[in-house]
Structures are given as C-alpha cells and as structure tokens.
Structure 1
Amino acid sequence: MTRKELLAMKYAKRVGQVIAAGVTLTLVATACGGGSDDAGSPTTTGTAGAKGGTVTVYHVNDVEHLDPQRNFVTDSSMIGKLITRTLTDYRYDAKAKKIVLENDLAASYESTPDFKTWTFKLKDGLKYEDGSPIVAADIKYGAERSFSADMQEGAPYAHEYLDCPGYKGPYIAGNNGGKGCTGIEVPDEKTVVFKLNRAVPTFEGTASMKVWSPVPKAKDTKTAYDNKPVSTGPYKIESYVRKKTLVLVRNENWDQKTDPLRNALPDKFIFKFGDAEATVDQRLFADGAADKSSVSFAGVQPENIAKTNGATVKDRVVESEDICRRYVAFNQQKPLLKNQKMREALYYGLDRTTYRDGRGGERLAAVVDSIIPDDMDGYKAEEHFKAPPEGDKEKAKALLTEAGYKGEKLTLGTADSGLAVKAAEAAQASWKAIGVNVDIRKIPGDNYYSTQQEDKSATDLITAGWCYDWASLATVVPPVLGPDTTAPNKAAQNNYGRSNVGWDKMAELAKETDKAKLTSGLSDLYAEIMKTAPLVPTVQDLNVYVVGSNIDNGVADPNTGGLIDLTQIGLKKAN
C-alpha cells in the first residue's frame, strides 16, 4: 500500500496534508446535468431532490476496501462516505466550486503551539447503526487497528505521525499490555488526544482520513470487517456479494443534525459490479425505465464522447475535473538517466498534446505543466524549461547530442489498460521522433505500482500520477520527490524517479510550523528540484458522465477522483 497514487488505470490512492479549518480550496471544476425540473435544465447549484427512492450505481470493478482503516482509494472512498464518518471531512460546494473542510464527528479541536498535540471533542448524539454511542475510545481503537500488518493498505498517517514507537497494533501482545498506542489518550468519552512525533500544523486535514474513523472493539472482526463495517454514516450495509452487488439502506440511528456533509436523500443505493463500461454507456444513453435513476463510476468512454451532444443526452451530462496529476518519471538509478541532459531531452521531446489524445482527448484530459494543481496555494507556472505542450524537437535533439546518446534503448512502463497503453504509445512516438528508442512494458494494473516501487523491477521511464488527500504542498513535494520517512537514505515509495535533490531542505521544512512559510518553502523547493528534470508532468484527467433522467443534483466531487458525489445526489421523483 502506498500513499496516494493515481493508478495508471482510473482510481487513486490518496495522500496529503493541509487546509486550515474555515479555509477553502477554490476549483475551476464544472458540474452540470441532472436537471432540477422536468424540462431537464442542468443542475449546477446543489439543489435537493425528492427524499426517497433507489439510486443504482454501476462500477466495472468491486471496490478495494470498505473497512475504514483500509479504505484509501477514490471509488471505495466515495462509497465509504455513505457508511463511514471521520473526525473532519471535506464537502464540495458545487455552487461556489470550493472544497470546504467541515467538522464531521468532531465538535471542535485544538492544538498546542508546537502542533504536536491535538485534542478533539466529539459531538453529542453520535451513534452506530445498532444505536450504541460512538465514544472516544472507539476513535483510538480504530487508529490502533491501522498499525496491524493486516491493515497496511490504508492511509499511513497513524503509524507515521503518532508517538508510539514499536507499536504493532491491537491484535498482538495484548494490545501493548492493554495500553494500546500510547500516543493516543482518551480522558473521557467525548475527548481524544493525539500526541504526534512531529509538528503537523494542519492535522485537522489529516483527521479527514478514514484511518481515524471509530471502530467498536467488540464488533471488530479483523480482516472480515471489510465485508460489513459497522456504520456511522446515513446508510448501512444490507447485503454485499463480492464482485456482484452491494446494497446500502438507511441507518435509522444516523442524525442529520450532527452531519453537515451528507444530504442522504435516497432510501437505498444499489451498486452493481462487473458490467463493461461500454455497456453501461449504452444503458445510460438510452435512459430506459431501469436506468432513469442510475449513474456510473466510469466516465463516458472516449469512443462515445460525441454521443453526449445528442438531444436526449446533453442535458444529462456531468463534466468535472479532479485533483490528480499524471507524469512520467525518469528513473535515475538507470545509467542513461543519471545524465541530466538526457532527462532534459526527454522532457523537451514529449509531445504532451498527443499524450493527452492518448488519454482520450480534450474532453477527457488537459495538458499540465506541474504535478502541483494550478488551484493549490503555492503553484507556480513552469518557468525554467518553458517547453510548449507539443514539445520542442530541435531543443531535444540538441540535448541528446550534449548527453552523448548513442541510440541505447529505454523501457517505458505502463499499466495494461486501454487509455494507459495509448498514452504510452503516444510518448513512445514522441521520443522516436527525436531519435530515442523506447520499448513499452505493459504491467498488470493490480500490481503496477508495486512493480515500479521495487528497484529491481522498475522500468527506465515510469508513467505515474499523484493526488493529494488534502490541499498542501506537503502532500505533493515530499512524497513524490523526497526520501522514505522510515529509511532516510532511500527514495520515498512514490518517488519513482529516485531523485535525491533537495532532501536536506525538505528535512528543514518538515520542522516548519508556520503554514505560509511551509507553503512558500516547498513551492520554491519544487521549482529548484524540477530544474534537474526528475520527471515531466503530462495531464490531468477530466471526467464526463451521463446520468439517468431522474437523477437530481448530479454533481461530481473533485476531491474524490471527480466521481459523482453520492452524498449530495437525489432523485427528482422517488421511484
């Protein structure tokens, strides 16, 4: 399990750090479709539909995990929002196009001046699906579960940040002799105190991750908890047949008054797994009786994009962007790529417009000049190379000469899914046009990143991507370009280029407690590191969905992979 990885297929592991409470991230995402009246006018302002009815959600794959301590991927995260609550969480305001940090289970929180001790107070009236109260000890136990070897797929923040060295989770050694993780204290049923091993100025953002969700110890079934976690959200699991269906029904013990994030309008959600994406496209375009209240987690397939302009379809289109950025890393453990001039030649030689077309074209991807989203505080336009989107062949060829390149072959690694392969083929053609020989190695998507993280199996050129968990450069620059937090002389798990430039400065900035100085420091450091060409940014994904004609408030959440926001969705008429 890594931090937050954009899978070369579609769905994303997540990592991040930093939005202060009350601070919002402004986005340029657009969201429309699912009109609020029978005329089918687009919904862009977050209208509320009728209460009741059933929404069907198509998804080509079963989700990875529902256990909150293991849930760290955008598709399962969106489903998880319906059944799992966290101390804080992000809400997408579609009208203002902003992501807003809200208190979820927490009524309030505060930190010590050094940002190493954080205290959260829980709201009144919080209950599990069986009516039992949610207490602070359950937050502690949930976080402790993430230390277990069986839970390592989840967000890493508990075992990275909490001050309990050597702790291995609740399932061995009597849970540390009954003390559990000593970095968490529970003075009463409403108070949980986190003692951290470092300053984390924006731990309130960290607290939005599901790893901090409560789990009642008496109901913990270890890895089997994945099949039916005890609900704290507005819905609970009625049935779950792996790879086929998941049915969620109302949790009658959820209290809307305690929850600022979820509208919970439908009575039921039915998730259907396994139908081919092209088949789902056809069903949603047709808008038959069985699909008028349906949506899909898969965007419209590239070959069907033109159909979204049809008279019966265009008012049911939802378009959005997400927070993730794709790139190609240059693995500096490889002899050829130790040469900076060679890396610069590859940077200039990549035609990112054809790469974009490989990812589906202008409706499905946009060329970017940075792995930092351009709406994030600290983003700066790339000013060193100033390579145009289509690349600069002549500059690239001159750099190849300076590098002493003699036609040696490089291998480009890609996941074996359709769009990923097409993008890789576009990159291969770009580099062939400047005289660089590149072979493509297709790696199964389910172990793509684990393959590239191993030094012995990593390719020369590595297609990758990154999404933050909450908006801060601290969740972009160190994980993508820094050292491993547990092995300082080794590149971070997601530092696919194995760059070691700027690590000393990163260590200094890790101690910075002033948020503005942290942001400006990391912004400047990113610019300096990128002068050495450790990677070339390529595109961000865009999303085009078609929803059923009975769907109301069909907006997409950029913070959850640009997926249709199931926490806000409703139906025009209860079915």
Structure 2
Amino acid sequence: MRRVFLLALVLMVAFSAVATAAAPKILVYAKAADPRGLDPAYVEDAESGKIIVNVYENLVKYKPGSTDLQPCLATSWTQSPDGTVWTFKLRKGVTFHDGTPFNAEAVKFSVERQLPPNATDDMPYASFTFEPVKKVEAIDPYTVRFTLKKPYAPFLANLAMALAAPIVSPAAVKKYGADFNFHPVGTGPFKFERWDRDQQIVLVKNAKYWGKKALVDKVIYKTTKESSVRASELMTGAVDIIDGVDPNDVKKLESSGLKVIKNPGMNINYLSFFCHRKPFNDPRVRRAISMAIDRDKIVKYLYQGYSQTANGPLPSFIPGYDPSLKPLAYNPEQAKKMLAEAGVPNLSFTFLTYAVARSYNPVNGQKLAEAIQADLLKIGVRTNIKVYPWSEYKDAVFKAEEGDACFYGWIGDNGDADNFLSLFDSGQIDSSLNSSKYSNPKVDQLLKKGTLTLDPKARVKIYQDLQKILVQDAPWVFISHSLDMAAYRPNVKGFKLHPVGVSWLDQVSK
C-alpha cells in the first residue's frame, strides 16, 4: 500500500510539473482606447502604434530608451555624399508571419504603395514620411536603394517610426485588401490572433522569429476607457500593465506596492484653433484666448505637477528647443482688450474634445476643456464643449464641420524637431496632421529649409526662428508636456516605456 501511495504521489507531482510547464505565459496590458487600425499605412494614432510595433518591424529601430538608431531588418546602410541616395543591406532568413519571405521586393512594395500615384488621401503619414522619396529600387533580393528628390535630414529617423515605415507582407495585403487593417501580417516577435472591437486585441508569440524569441506566449491588449478602472484592475491583478495613468491614482498605486514609471514625455498637449475660418482666422483673437488661459494653474492642479508648462511646441530635450522662447503670458485683462480691438468682445465658440485619457493629457480631454472653459468665462467668453469617443474624434477634427477649436496632442515619432514642427506645415492640412488648418508661407519656407539642412547646429537655429513666429501667430495654445506614465505589477520584469510613446513587449517577462 505504501509503495502504491508513493507511486501515486510521484505521478501527481510529475503531472503538476508538466501542467505548470505547459501553462501559457499571458501578459495583459490595459489601455484607454481601441486602435484605429493595424495597417501602418492607414493610421496616425498612438493606440495603433502600440500594437503595430510588436507585430511589424522596420529597416532600422530605436535603441532602448532613446531615439538613437540601430539595425533591424536592414543590417547596414550607406548614404551618398549629397544626401540623396540611401542604400540598405537587408537581413537574410527572415519570413513574414504568413510564411512568405522578407526581401527587397517587400520593402519596395511597402513604400511604393504610399507614393504617388498609389498613395490615397486616407494614408495620413505617407507624405509626412516618404514625400522626399523619388523612387525605391530592389537592386538584388537583399539590397534596396532609396533615391530622394532632395537631401532630407530626418529620413533615416523616419524609417524607424511606428507608422507608415513598418514593412508589411505584400502577399497578405493582396489577400486581405482593405481588411488588412484588421489582419496585420509583419515579421515581428508577435503574431496577430484576433481583435474583439472595443474589448481586446490578442497577439501570440512568433515561434519562428529571426531574433530573440518573446518571453511570454500571449499578449492581451485590453481596452478599459476609465483611468480609475484601469488602476483598480491593476491593483486586483486582473491586468499586469496599464498606461494613461491618472495623476490622481499615482500615490494609491505606489502605496499598493505597484511600480509607476514617470519618464520625461516626448509630447505636447495643446488647444488647436481652426485657423481657416472666423473668428480664429484672426491672430489677434487666437493670441487673446491664449492669454486668457492660466496654463501654470492647469499643470499644478489638474495635472498635479506631473506635467511641465510648455513654452512652445517642443519638449526641452528635443534638438531645436529654445529655452529663451517666451510664450504669451497669462493676462486676462489684456486678453479682454484684444478681443474688443478685434471686434469680438462677446465671443462664444465651441470646443471639440475627446472622452479618454491620453499620454499627453492623462486626465482626459473633457476635464481639460472644462478647466479652460472656466478660465475663459472670467473674461466673458462663453464656450460649448462637444465630446467624442476617441474612435470618432479624429474624423470630427479632420472634417472640421462643426466646432471652432479642438483639444489635441502629439507624441514624437522619432526625436527630430521636424516631427513636431511639421504639424504647422500647410502641406499637411490634407493629411489631417495639421489639425489647425494653419497656413503661413514663412513657416513653410523654414520647415523646408530645416529638412534640406544637414548641419545639426544650423537646423537648431532654423527651428528656433520658426518657433518665435508660432508664438506670435498662436495657431495653438501650448499647454503642457506630460510625464510619460505607466504602471505595472511587481512580478512583471523588463517593461519599459520608450520616448516615442510605445512599448516593445517581446523581452518582458512575468
């Protein structure tokens, strides 16, 4: 009997060990909103980028914690002396998730579909990323050459961006057509499994990945719109990681033994005026509203110090930032006088805003709009607030069929000043990136000069001159740069936020 009992015990222990070893390692990541899509050519939002970077790869990628570049699908590259020809040697032995080979033709396909005449109006990053590209050639199966129309200083940095630049499977794009936006196929460490709209997106480990394999078997991106609910889910263990941390929840999370990341944010939180129509086609009106908003108070009380008041569009660590730049100072009495001089002493208008938290605005768009509404009421300006779900918000802003101004933000894609300042380029109005519909020929000229100039010091001077114009033209109210915050449970190892606002999860363990 004792021998039978011992045998049974051994079998139970062995069975338990096998079961434990076989249990999949699942990482659950809660975020505020669904992505707009998962085809990098057709999206422009950070929520999409968070998933895209784990499914697809680029020719080059960022080093951990910085926007310095290193090889990825390209192993090396050269640039011609005049800066117009870039040649990339590609990594061999890489396959897409559908089993088709990665090669120069795949790179050519991924880029050419975003170049004229193939590019369509609903490719928001196409011109932003590839406008200087004259042609792209597959020299041999593992060599690709880009010829630019002109020197373009941010070109290599643009190729690392989460949007437009990732390399897609040509076979999958042809197979799914427009539905490729919901059936992504790349070469990355995770493969797409399914998308339950407004609930979750599931990725699974790519067992045939060419590099270091992912440390977890599955990642579930869970959509939880309310910041407080995400915090509660993290504290109960229902999820492992959350982003969009509300400043009100930081102390509660830390006192519960959870880890809270607080990194300097490569972002800008702003109020954008629709500059193409009255009353905000008048810079005097834009300046007056800017001067009626107490941005320091917003940072102190709404964001509880987890943001920095902005003096312009650039965070302080971006080359081109000007520490001497003087923003329009808070002066409500002067603001009232300016409105009277502009002929709109009894101004009223409508804000468009969003219902979720963003990394540049962790308390959500409605709360920010209400805080500014209260400031403007002090000078007799009445405002109406129209709130949209995030999935509908970008379309409403792009169409600009209603409302007079909107709340928005930007998360830097590559650490280059042009990536922020191009949002004021009149050439980006049609792409939707210039949300204010702002147009100034002098600004357009300086932007062009900045990309043509390869000397870093000369570029800094150009961008500092440009920002002085923007402060006076006031197409935006430059509100704040938020700390980039996320939180995770102590059993999660290796999780980091990257400055570009996304996280690579392949080397995160649990």
Question: For this structure pair, what is the TM-score category when the shorter chain's length is used for normalisation?
Answer: 0.7 to 0.9
* Cα shift readout 1:14-46 (whole Å, capped 9, x = no counterpart): xxxxxxxxxxxxxxxxxxxxxxxxxxxxxxxxx
The TM-score normalised by the length of structure 1 is 0.73
Amino acid in structure 1 at the alignment position of 2:166: S
Q: 1:56 to 1:395 in 2, by over 3 A?
A: same
Return the match for 1:237 from 189, 192, 204.
Answer: 192
- For residues 475 and 382 of structure 1, the distance between their equivalents in structure 2, rounded to whole angstroms, comes to 21
Q: For residue 206 of structure 2, what is the aligned residue in structure 1?
A: 251
Bigger relative contact order, structure 1 or 2, given CA contacts below 8 A and separation 6+? 1
Q: Would you say the 8 A contact 1:69–1:143 is kept in 2?
A: no
1:374 and 2:320 matched: no
Q: Does 1:283 align with 2:227?
A: no
Between 81-90 and 232-241, the greater mean CA deviation after superposition? 232-241
Structure 2 residue runs of 5 or longer lacking an equivalent are: 1-23, 357-362
The alpha carbon displacement at 1:284 in A equals: 1.3
Deviations 1:108-148 (A, max 9, x none): 11222332222111123323346553211111112233335
Distance in 2, Cα, partners of 1:280 & 1:113: 51
Residue 18 of structure 2 corresponds to which residue in structure 1?
none
Aligned match of 1:48:
none
How much has 1:545 moved relative to structure 2?
3.2
SS of 2:285's equivalent? Answer: helix
Q: Conserved in 2, the CA contact under 8 Å of 1:143 and 1:213? A: no
Aligned length: 474
Q: Which amino acid aligns with 1:228?
A: H
Partner SS, residue 131 of structure 2:
helix
| Partner residue in 2 for 1:213 | 166
Flag the 1:61–1:492 CA change in 2: closer, same or farther, 3 A. Answer: closer
Aligned 8 A contact 1:356 1:423 in 2: no
Displacement of 1:496 after TM fit? 0.3
C-alpha separation in 2, matches of 1:480 and 1:497: 9
One-letter amino acid matched to 2:133:
L
1:329 aligned residue (272, 276, 300): 272
* Cα distance in 1, alignment partners of residues 139 and 119 from structure 2: 24
The counterpart of 2:390, out of the listed 417, 442, 445, is: 445
Match of 1:295 among 228, 233, 241: 241
- Residue type of the partner of 2:436? Y
Whole-Å separation in 2 of the counterparts to 1:411 and 1:188: 56
Which amino acid in structure 2 is aligned with residue 140 of structure 1? K
Task: Flag the structure with higher helix content.
Answer: 2
Correspondence for 2:409: 465
Letter in 2 for 1:268: K
> How is 1:143-222 mapped onto 2 (pairs within 5 angstroms)?
143-146=111-114, 147-149=118-120, 152=123, 155-157=126-128, 160-163=131-134, 183-209=135-161, 210-220=163-173, 221=175, 222=177
Q: Name the CA shift for 1:277/1:333 in 2 (closer, same or farther; >3 Å).
A: closer
Closer/same/farther in 2, CA of residues 435 and 230 from structure 1, 3 Å limit: closer
Shift of 1:383: 3.6
Cα offset for 1:525?
1.8
Equivalent position SS for 1:353: helix
Counterpart Cα distance in 2 of 1:110 and 1:470: 20
Q: Secondary structure at the match of 2:230?
A: helix
Task: Compute the RMSD of aligned alpha carbons.
Answer: 3.1
| Aligned-partner SS, 1:114 | coil
Question: Quick check: 1:84–1:231 contact (8 Å CA) kept in 2?
Answer: yes
How far apart are the structure 1 equivalents of 2:297 and 2:99? Answer: 55
Partner of 2:348: 409
Q: Does 1:393 align with 2:332?
A: yes
1:63 aligned partner: 35
Partner of 2:21: none
Amino acid across the alignment from 1:550? N
**Alpha-carbon separation, structure 2, partners of 1:54 and 1:412:** 41
CA contact 1:138–1:217 (8 Å) conserved in 2: yes
Matching of residue 545 in structure 1 with residue 490 in structure 2: no
Partners of 1:382 and 1:459 in 2: CA distance: 34
Change (3 A) 1:399 1:162: same
Aligned to 2:20: none
2:12 corresponding residue in structure 1: none
Of 300-309 and 518-527, more deviation after overlay is shown by 300-309
Distance of aligned partners of 1:542 and 1:152 in 2 relative to their CA distance in 1, 3 Å threshold:
same
Three-state SS of the structure 2 residue aligned to 1:121 is strand
- After superposing the two structures, state which structure 1 stretch, 187-196 or 224-233, moved more: 224-233
When residues 127 and 540 of structure 1 are mapped into structure 2, their CA distance, relative to the original with a 3 A threshold, is: same
| Contact 2:429/2:435 (<8 A) preserved | no
Residue type of the alignment partner of 1:361: Q
Q: Which residue of 1 aligns with 2:508?
A: 569
**Partners of 1:284 and 1:486 in 2: how far apart?**
40
Looking at structure 1, the residues matched to 415 and 497 of structure 2 have their Cα atoms a distance apart, in angstroms, of 18
How much has 1:199 moved relative to structure 2?
2.4
1:76 aligns with 2:59: no
Amino acid at match of 1:411: T
How has the CA–CA distance of structure 1 residues 450 and 115 changed in structure 2, closer, same or farther, with 3 Å as cutoff?
farther
After TM superposition, give the deviation of residue 538 of structure 1 in Å: 0.3
Structure 1 gaps of 5+ residues are 1-51, 164-182, 258-262
Question: Quick one: distance in 2 between partners of 1:162 and 1:61?
Answer: 33
Give yes or no for the alignment of 1:350 onto 2:293: yes
Say if 2:381 is the partner of 1:436.
yes
| Closer/same/farther in 2, CA of residues 303 and 499 from structure 1, 3 Å limit | same
CA distance in 2, matches of 1:480, 1:72: 13
Question: Which letter does structure 1 place at the counterpart of 2:305?
Answer: E
Q: Determine the structure 1 residue equivalent to 2:6.
A: none
Look up the SS of the partner of 1:552 in the other structure: coil
User: How many Å separate the matches in 1 of 2:302 and 2:395?
Assistant: 22
Percent of aligned pairs with the same amino acid:
24
Q: Is the 8 A contact 1:66 1:80 kept in 2?
A: yes
- 1:10 corresponds to: none
Cα drift, residue 492 of structure 1: 7.5
- Aligned partner of residue 108 in structure 1, secondary structure: strand
- Counterpart of 1:514 (choices 455, 460, 471) is 455
Identify the residue that residue 101 of structure 1 maps to in structure 2: 69
Q: Note if contact 1:219-1:230 (Cα within 8 Å) is conserved in structure 2.
A: yes
Cα deviation code 1:406-434 (max 9, x no counterpart): 22323333234472112111112112223
Q: 1:316 aligns to what?
A: 259
In the TM superposition, residue 559 of structure 1 has moved relative to its aligned partner by 1.0
Conserved in 2, the CA contact under 8 Å of 1:109 and 1:120?
yes
